Amino acid sequence: MHKFWIEAALNGPWSRALQPGIPDTVDAIIAEGIACAEAGAAIIHTHAYDGGGPQTFDWQVYARIIEGIRARVDVPVYPSIPGLDTRGNVADPTARFAHIEALAERGLLEFAVVDPGSVNFTLTATTAQAKPAETYLNPETHIRHGLGVVARHGIHPAFAIYEPGFIRAGAALARASGVRTPIYRFMFSQQFAFCFPPKPYGLAALVTLMEEEAAGAPWMVSGLGVDITPLIGDAIARRSHIRVGLEDALLGATATNLRLVEDAVRMVRAQGGEPATTAEVRRGLANG
């Protein structure tokens, strides 16, 4: 029986104004991470918040979250990285990845976000009067620095594929950097105008490109501002993996992280598969 990885992305950068149900305190993030892992998620992804308010990239806050979850469930937990935009987020790649370096030095990471390209977060329902969308910037200097961090620490890069060309760029830079096998996350969306909507033709195109550029690397269906349910059957038939959670869900979602994980587990089993354990995920990556 094929084993499918289920990842839970707990919150994202949205704040409760855009995604009311997200956990945005250390205790809430820990509790939801544990619940999702116990329900069948083999990987946890989170942004860090310390008492609500804006997210933080303080490695010590992340360490509290990771250690809090792993004290109950031995599951990989990996953080986000700050963006570069008009709000003044860090422009120096060393500073941008400093929390990744600190966590990896302490043996707390198995994956790290290193996104291999830049993208505009244009809304599909934008208007002429709307404020211009933010751009998620990842200059190649930053990508190469991030890959250097993960290479030094022997952890896997996690690539968010916001556009098809990110597969090609990520694969080329991964080969050049000598990193361990990346995990590719296909970023479908309904509310944002990047990549593809969650339709079979989009999945088929991304899978074909993966087979040409990064054959054998693990990939999963995911996204932002999206309901990936219509793709899950096709993804399982193609032996892909699945990411769910309130970071990825349609903004304003009423579901909980736990319910999204439980639904994914049911759909995997309904298709004749079985959710992978964390040990099985680690074995799958051991030689890559």
CATH at residue 248: 3.20.20.70
Check whether 170 has a pLDDT greater than 60: yes
Check whether 83 has a pLDDT greater than 80: yes
Cα(90)–Cα(99) distance, rounded to whole angstroms?
A: 12
- Average pLDDT score over residue span 17-24: 95
Q: What is the pLDDT of residue 90?
A: 57
Check whether 132 has a pLDDT greater than 90: yes
Query: How many structural domains does the chain have?
Result: 1
Using a pLDDT cut of 70, give the percent of the chain over it. 98
Lowest-confidence region among 87-91, 139-143, 252-256, 263-267: 87-91
pLDDT (tens digit per residue) in 201-234? 999 999 999 999 999 999 999 999 999 999 999 9
Structural domain of 186: 3-285
Q: What is the pLDDT of residue 2?
A: 80
Confidence of residue 53 (pLDDT cuts 50, 70, 90): confident
Confidence of residue 51 (pLDDT cuts 50, 70, 90): confident
